[in-house]
Amino acid sequence: MSKPKNDLFLRALAGESVERPPVWMMRQAGRYLPEFMEIKAKYDFFTRCQTPELASEITVQPIRRFGMDAAILFSDILVVPQAMNIEVQMKQGVGPWLPDPIKNAGDLDRVIVPDVHESLGYVMDAIDMTLEKLEGEVPLIGFAGSPWTIFCYCVQGQGSKSFDQAKALCFSQPEVAHELLSRITKTTIAYLKAKVAAGVHTVQLFDSWGGMLSPEDYQEFSWKYLQEIVTALKEEAPVIVFGKGCWFALDTMAGSGASALGVDWTLNPQKARELSGGLITLQGNFDPARLLSPPAVIREKVHEMIRGFGKDRYIANLGHGILPNVPVAHAEAFIRAVQEYSE
């Protein structure tokens, strides 16, 4: 794979000393950009994900506008259960909606470990088109949800503040839970390997709901499956693991073979360094709601954040996805504050 012209992100992932931290934003391809909203007005959510021309266009929109140091492929974590024969819809005002959630062992009969090239081939096509549009300027990130996070939707059937039904299945029918988690893990490994073969430079795992579990249950129902994925992928591409609310597992994650760990905004940079052992690249952790501050304040807070983490072994990012109501000028203030940073 040829190295992008701007390889700052890849160098930071490798732990090399850099002139300034690289910057990108989770969910940068999407909902806060007017050019994205134009596409959204014409095509429904999964049409955008499943049409390579649209997905690739959405991926490069923020790069054209702001020149971040990495692009992240526009897609969704729930294309994985779709490929596994679990129906997923995107419902207006509800978000993800799975009409037939998994409740017991019998429900597993319909859940397959698919041929990802058949069921998710459109993602590989989107990678091809995106790489063509990026013209080697910046690296491309591919991603997947953690098995636990995907499991939460598959069992709960929709988003939730507690994912009580997902947890109930783990605690009342652990063998069913582990079988489903195992199938999601196998599918995810095949999916990410296909993405790397198609040309993404790195992969990120999003454990959005890991913080719902106690530290002990996290090890059993989330981390062991994430570790399996990291082990399967780390020789093929750098892996970033982002667990929202999972500060308690940073020490375990740091020894996993991952190249970087994402950190949310509930932890200060010094504590994140301490918990992760100080030797691994960290990514984060600006509170997305902080982008509603005036641009001058954003700039000041971003510089404070970089000083806290240190410029090396660090990737500037948000502590979760950008909010849809963030003004474009404020997103730009965040990016520019990192790009102009010097010690």
217 annotated as ligand-binding: no
The verdict on residue 78 lying in a domain is yes
The verdict on residue 272 lying in a domain is yes
Q: Which domain holds residue 18?
A: 8-339
Other C-beta atoms within 10 Å of 45: how many? Answer: 17
CATH of the domain at 109: 3.20.20.210
Residues 6 or more apart whose CB falls under 8 angstroms from that of 207 comprise: 145, 146, 148, 149, 222, 226, 241, 242, 243, 244, 246
Number of domains in the chain: 1
Polymer length of the chain:
343
Band of residue 269 on the pLDDT scale cut at 50, 70, 90:
very high
Comparing CA positions, the residue from 129, 171, 151 lying closest to residue 222 is: 151
Is the pLDDT assigned to residue 282 strictly greater than 90?
yes
28 annotated as ligand-binding: yes
- Residue 317: predicted pLDDT: 98
CA distances 34 to 31, 47, 335, Å, are: 8, 19, 17
Q: Quick check: 225 and 150 in contact, CB under 8 A?
A: no
31 annotated as ligand-binding: yes
> For the chain, what is the radius of gyration of the CA atoms?
19
CA distances 268 to 25, 279, 305, 327, Å, are: 18, 17, 9, 25
Edge-first strand listing for the sheet containing 281-286: 71-72, 140-145, 202-207, 239-243, 260-263, 281-286, 314-318
Going by DSSP bridges, is the β-strand pair 239-243/260-263 parallel, antiparallel, or unpaired?
parallel
Comparing CA positions, the residue from 105, 231, 241 lying closest to residue 178 is: 105
d(CA 47, CA 122): 11
The verdict on residue 42 lying in a domain is yes
314 annotated as ligand-binding: no
- Residue 343: predicted pLDDT: 81
Comparing CA positions, the residue from 300, 315, 238, 340 lying closest to residue 21 is: 315
- Residue 25: predicted pLDDT: 98
115 annotated as ligand-binding: no
Token couple for 88: 């997923």
Q: At what angle do helices 121-134 and 174-198 cross, to 10 degrees?
A: 40
Q: What is the pLDDT of residues 108-167, one digit of tens each?
A: 999 999 999 999 999 999 999 999 999 999 999 999 999 999 999 999 999 999 999 999
The verdict on residue 1 lying in a domain is no
Q: Three-state DSSP class for 268?
A: coil
The verdict on residue 273 lying in a domain is yes
Q: How many CA atoms lie within 13 A of 166 on its CB side?
A: 26
CA-based angle 124:37:41, to the nearest 5?
Answer: 90
Residues 6 or more apart whose CB falls under 8 angstroms from that of 294 comprise: none
208 annotated as ligand-binding: yes
Band of residue 212 on the pLDDT scale cut at 50, 70, 90:
very high
27 annotated as ligand-binding: yes
Q: Quick check: 175 and 104 in contact, CB under 8 A?
A: no
29 annotated as ligand-binding: yes
153 annotated as ligand-binding: yes
CA distances 198 to 117, 140, 228, 286, Å, are: 11, 11, 21, 31
Q: Phi and psi at residue 90, in whole multiples of 5°?
A: -110, 110
d(CA 150, CA 207): 9
Is the pLDDT assigned to residue 314 strictly greater than 80?
yes
Q: Percentage of the chain with pLDDT > 90?
A: 99
d(CA 36, CA 29): 8
The verdict on residue 299 lying in a domain is yes
d(CA 326, CA 122): 30
The verdict on residue 3 lying in a domain is no
Q: What is the pLDDT of residues 71-105, one digit of tens each?
A: 999 999 999 999 999 999 999 999 999 999 999 99
Mean pLDDT (the chain) is: 98
Q: Helix H segments across 163-218?
A: 164-172, 174-198, 215-218
The verdict on residue 165 lying in a domain is yes
User: What is the pTM (predicted TM-score) of this model?
Assistant: 0.98
Can you tell me the mean pLDDT for 269-279?
A: 98
Q: Quick check: 40 and 331 in contact, CB under 8 A?
A: no
CA distances 294 to 33, 299, 302, 317, Å, are: 18, 9, 12, 18
